Amino acid sequence: MTTVLEAVALLFALGFVLLAVLFARRVLIARSGAVELSVRLYRARFGRGWALGLARFSGDQLRWYRLFSFSPWPRRVLTRRELVVVGRRDPSEQETLALMTGSVVLECADRTGPVDLAMSGSALTGFLSWLESAAPGSFPSR
Confidence of residue 142 (pLDDT cuts 50, 70, 90): very low
pLDDT above 60 (res 140): no
- Top mean pLDDT of 29-43, 97-111, 121-135 is at 97-111
Contacts of 39 (CB under 8 A, 6+ apart): 50, 51, 53, 64, 75, 76, 115, 116, 117, 118
pLDDT in tens, 47-100: 678 999 999 988 899 999 998 777 778 999 999 999 999 999 999 998 988 899
pLDDT at 71: 79
pLDDT at 35: 87
DSSP state string for 61-125:
EEEEEESS---SS-SEEEEGGG-EEEEEEPPPHHHHTTS-TT-EEEEEEETTEEEEEEE-HHHHH
pTM of the model: 0.72
pLDDT above 60 (res 113): yes
